[in-house]
Amino acid sequence: MAWLFLLFIVVPATELALLIEVGARIGTANTLLLIVVTGVLGASLASRQGMGVLRQIQAETAVGRMPAGAIVDGLLIFVAGVVLMTPGLLTDLAGFLCLIPATRRAIKAMVRRRLEQAVRQGRAQVVVDVQPVDRSRDPDRSPPTLP
């Protein structure tokens, strides 16, 4: 519940206060231009990086590896693109931080540590769903191997 309050009340109110303050200092037109430029630049960077991550996912799956790291990168880039398209200075900062590879690695490490901690404490579960393979159509095919 606290996260929802933060997400829907505190963040937008803070963004609004910052935009009002910036508008008072640099002017309304320049503030609007800043919002448009960060949105366009963010969308462009997110699109370019997203395509790179998509190629990485395809390459890893082509050699039979699970592209877990690349999938998390893709998720962070998607989040960056979304927050960069919303007007606001704090969300723009968060979005651009998600687009910097070094910062993204730090965020991934933090998320991994928190997830591992939640699993250890029993607050989260990891479920692996393995589907049976129907060999009746191709009996000569060898069983798949896991990495």
Distance CA 62, CA 6 (A): 41
The C-alpha angle 102, 106, 110, rounded to 5 degrees, equals 170
Q: What's the CA dihedral at 78, 84, 87, 92 to 10 degrees?
A: 130
Q: Which pLDDT belongs to residue 145?
A: 60
Q: Hey, what amino acid is at 8? A: F
Distance CA 41, CA 114 (A): 31
pLDDT, one tens digit for every residue, the chain (147 residues): 788 888 889 989 999 999 999 999 999 999 999 999 998 999 899 999 999 999 999 999 999 888 988 999 999 999 999 999 888 999 999 999 999 999 999 999 999 899 899 989 988 887 777 666 565 665 555 555 655
Handedness of CA 20, 22, 26, 32 (dihedral sign): negative
Q: Where are the domains of the chain?
A: 10-120
Q: CA–CA distance from 105 to each of 16, 25, 71, 72, 99 (Å)?
A: 30, 35, 13, 10, 10
Q: Which pLDDT belongs to residue 92?
A: 94
Q: Which pLDDT belongs to residue 130?
A: 66
